[in-house]
A and B are shown apart, each in its own frame.
Chain A
Amino acid sequence: MSDWVEACAAGDIDEEDVMRFDHGGRTFAIYRSPDDDYFATDGLCTHEKVHLADGLVMDDIIECPKHNGRFNYKTGDARGAPVCVNLRTYPVRVDAGKVLIQVG
């Protein structure tokens, strides 16, 4: 599979934070966890299609900026009302200081 795409430099995202990444007409959210690992999910909340990159990362949770719905960004699990549908997650690797995600 060659659908790995470069999303940003590793240093572009602060620790315990999230960044928006648009590619091929789609939008993703890239996370840097407090342990300095990187993760990626769909960029829009499954509740009302709001950009999660404007939300708050706390430990392994992303909280949506619109209605405070929470997801585990490592697994995509929805953590209760008002989000009921899980987020899709994507494989991520860091290569030579670049964050790559497999968007397939």
Chain B
Amino acid sequence: MGKVAIIGVGQSTFVRSYPGSIRELVFEGFKEAMQDAQLSTKDIDASVVCSAPEYDKQRSPAGVFAEYLGLNPQPTFYVETLCSSSSTGLKLAYSLVKSGLHDTVAVIGFQKMSEISSSESQERMGRGADIQWESPFGTMMPAYYAMYAKAHMEKYGTTLDDLALIRVKAATYGQLNERAVYRKPVEFEMFSDPENRMAGPVASPLRVGDCCANADGSACIIVASEEKAKSISKKPVWILGVGAASTSVNLAGRDLFTGLTVAQQAAQQAYEMAGVGPKDIDVAEVHDCFTIAEMMAYENLGFAKPGEGKELIRNKETYQEGNIPVNVDGGLLSKGHPIGATGGSQIRTIVLQLRDEAGDIQVKDPEIGLVHNIGGVGLYGNVTLLGRG
């Protein structure tokens, strides 16, 4: 059985409120990926559409997009794992190609979060948790991650300053990313100024500056068989490992609160499949929906030992010039987090890095890149390893 490649990547600019419909939003990411791969719609054998359906007014969007993108009569279907939907889509596309069922598959992630109001969207995010036993208490995503932050700080002495450093890093690169929602500089001092918005409380201990923003966006990844990739692509990037895991939705069913077991397990699977370890990773995109999420990712992916993630950010090891550059495209904290498109955007960043096409944020000669994409509050974990040539 041959290898599986990514031969095209695209994403829309992520914005607060997209001035168009979801099919038009999706067209933007798709068009860029198709032009990148130099394919026509006839070359796509199947499409996998990925989003979190609670934001969609359109029922069953896959069918609508297949028509709008010119992908009829090829098969199309829909997958979701909340915020990691498009990484799950990539894993499915990998399986479809690896099995020999299809040669070329388009993974299309999108979210138009502005279809509903911000508070309504917060309520829906809360319902990404256990609606029977948790949501009646009034839960929100920031509060769940805040509980992990509290536990991490208590156990390991991680500080709010360490979390602020992660946001400062994100903003350093967000300023360079024309596709990002938040492009303003963020200074460390802002977090100690009670008048500053960044320092405003959300869910203790997390502050406004610790949280990413909602966004509208789309992304598209074109996956192809080895044979197809070699015949049409000058710079295929290879899928070396795909790991995925799940856990109890209710926090009462979990044992670890200083990290995400799904990330540990997905990483382990992906490393084993690729025959590599954390030290082999040259560049990574991690799911920094909150600053604490990036801190835990350092540890869950093995870039640092448990409790030592803070040393990485204090020593700037996760900056572009550091030992293990992480989220040098600004991350979710800068780009915004259009749920179903987020994983696709992360994958695109790593593919561009491995092709030496990342521009200002290019890290030096990366061979292997990692994508860590989490759904819900560590409910679904996906880790994907990509390699050049």
A and B form one complex: no
